[in-house]
Amino acid sequence: MPEAIMLISSWCIPVIIIFILTFALLKKVKIYEQFTEGASQGIKTAIKIFPYLLAMLVAINIFRESGALDLMVRLIKPFTEKLNIPGEVLPLLFLRPLSGSGSLSYTAYLLKEYGADSYIGKLASTIQGSTETTFYIVAVYFGSIGIKKYRYAVTVGILADLAGFFAAAFICKLLFL
Q: Choose between 31 and 87: whose C-beta lies nearer to other proteins.
A: 31
- Cβ atoms within 10 Å, residue 105: 12
**By the rule CB under 8 A, 115 interacts with other proteins:** yes
Task: Please pick, from the candidates 73, 76, 86, 104, the single residue that binds other proteins as defined by CB under 8 A.
Answer: 104
In 3D, which of 102, 98, 120, 103 has the Cα closest to residue 111?
120
* Number of residues engaging other proteins in binding (CB under 8 A): 99
Task: Please pick, from the candidates 38, 75, 78, 177, the single residue that binds other proteins as defined by CB under 8 A.
Answer: 38
- Measured between alpha carbons, how far is 165 from 92 in angstroms, rounded to an integer? 9
CA distances from 82 to 71, 79, 108, 164 (A): 19, 6, 26, 18
Task: Please pick, from the candidates 15, 16, 81, 84, the single residue that binds other proteins as defined by CB under 8 A.
Answer: 16
| Length of the chain, in residues | 177
What is the residue type of 172? C
- Measured between alpha carbons, how far is 125 from 122 in angstroms, rounded to an integer? 5
Q: CB under 8 A: which stretch of 12-20, 75-83, 87-95 binds other proteins?
A: 12-20
**By the rule CB under 8 A, 67 interacts with other proteins:** yes
Q: Choose between 38 and 78: whose C-beta lies nearer to other proteins.
A: 38
What is the residue type of 45? T
Q: Among residue numbers 147 through 166, which ones bind other proteins (CB under 8 A)? A: 147-157, 159-161, 163-165
**By the rule CB under 8 A, 34 interacts with other proteins:** yes
**By the rule CB under 8 A, 80 interacts with other proteins:** no
Task: Please pick, from the candidates 56, 77, 83, 90, the single residue that binds other proteins as defined by CB under 8 A.
Answer: 56
**CB of 86: closest distance to other proteins in angstroms?**
15
- Measured between alpha carbons, how far is 64 from 42 in angstroms, rounded to an integer? 31
**CB of 165: closest distance to other proteins in angstroms?**
8
**By the rule CB under 8 A, 84 interacts with other proteins:** no
What is the residue type of 29? V
Name the burial class of residue 112, with classes exposed (0-12), middle (13-18) and buried (19+) by CB atoms within 10 angstroms of its CB.
exposed
